[in-house]
Structure 1
Amino acid sequence: MKIEISPIENEYAEQVIDLILSIQQKEFNVAITLADQPDLLEIKNFYYKDGGCFWGAFADGELVGTIALIKFDAQAGAIRKMFVKKEFRGKEFGIAQLLLDTLIDSSREKGLNNLYLGTITILAAALRFYEKNGFIRIAKESLPETFPLMSADNVFCNLPLD
């Protein structure tokens, strides 16, 4: 199986929406809809406008994962939309790691020195993954003022890029 990570834009919106909503609603029973995430309909305008990006992970041409970077100030970015289809998770495929490494490398190239993310406690495996990759949990009050908060998020992390 060939895994490829590449930047994607609006032409993949439908596949992105199917992947993300399925994981959020069916797998984790998170009460969130497409209406709560209008960014998914405007990938290019929302993620790329200030120097961010939106990547897709493809397994033999099928979209099986996503990750996005919002550059919210000159030196900091927020990680969003980190999702991998259930059948493609784990070390065997390494897709989550490839996605995160791609985002971190891109962030360094853009001159960012801090990455932040918000998530929810129910996504315990995701939190363990982030912490294994050097992210440190921080209080909501410690987030930069310009961090783009999502209302559902209740756990926050920071990764200094040295």
Structure 2
Amino acid sequence: MKPIIKPVDNQYSNAIVDLVLTIQQKEFNVPITIEDQPDLFNIPNFYYADGGGFWGAFIDDQLVGTIALVKFADNAAAIRKMFVKKEFRGKEYAIAQKLLETLIAYSKENGIDDLYLGTITILEAALRFYEKNNFVRIQKEKLPEGFPLMAPDNVFCHLNLKK
């Protein structure tokens, strides 16, 4: 079963919310609610309007993963909403890798040179995944102006696409 990666918008909001909240709240006990994430019901304005994007990974028409890009400067953007359903994680499906590669290809085609992200220390596997993909941890103080901070985030990473 090969995942299909494609851009998504509000027509998938309910499936996205279900996927994201289940992972955040039930799997990792992150104190975040749907009220904290109104962007999930306003995908075109929040992600696409400024030159970002939002992609879903589908297996048999079921949403099994997401990744989003918030462009916050001429050549810089933040990765958001990188989630893969537990049973579809790992090398067998490589969904996270395919989602990230899709986002990086889009970024390069659209003049985005620097990718940033924030996450939380409890998501150790996610951090290892990003570091394996050449992201470097940076201090919060080193984030560029305009980076869209999320309250729970306490670990930050950067990838320069020009290198």
With the length of structure 1 as denominator, give the TM-score of the two structures: 0.99
**Distance of 1:45 and 1:146 partners within structure 2:** 17
Q: Report the Cα distance in structure 1 between the residues aligned to 2:50 and 2:88, rounded to whole angstroms.
A: 31
Aligned residues: 162
What aligned pairs does 1:59-74 form with structure 2 within 5 A after superposition? Answer: 59-74=59-74
Q: Distance in 2 between matches of 1:95 and 1:7?
A: 15
Amino acid at match of 1:4: I
CA separation in 1, counterparts of 2:35 and 2:161? 33
2:160 is the counterpart of 1:155:
no
Whole-angstrom distance in 2 between the partners of 1:159 and 1:60 = 32
SS in 2 for 1:29: coil
Instruction: Measure how far apart 1:2 and its partner are.
Output: 3.0
In 1: Cα distance, 2:2 partner to 2:111 partner: 30
Q: Secondary structure at the match of 1:17?
A: helix
Aligned residue number for residue 105 of structure 1 = 105
Look up the equivalent residue of 2:22 and give its one-letter code.
S
Structure 1 stretches lacking a partner, 5+ long: none
Q: Which amino acid aligns with 2:136?
A: I
For 2:49 and 2:150, locate their aligned partners in 1 and report how far apart those are by CA, in whole Å: 19
AA aligned to 2:10 is N
Identity %: 69
* Uncovered stretches (5+) of structure 2, i.e. residues with no partner: none
- Aligned match of 1:53: 53
Render the CA deviation track for 1:37-87: whole Å, top value 9, x for unaligned: 110111111001100000000011100000000011110010000000000
Aligned to 2:2: 2
Q: After TM superposition, where is structure 1 displaced by more than 2 Å over at least 4 residues in a row?
A: none
Do structure 1's residue 83 and structure 2's residue 119 form an aligned pair?
no
Native 8 Å contact 2:52 2:68 kept in 1: yes
Find the counterpart in structure 2 of residue 129 from structure 1.
Answer: 129
What TM-score results when the alignment is normalised by the length of structure 2?
0.98
Match of 1:37 in 2: 37
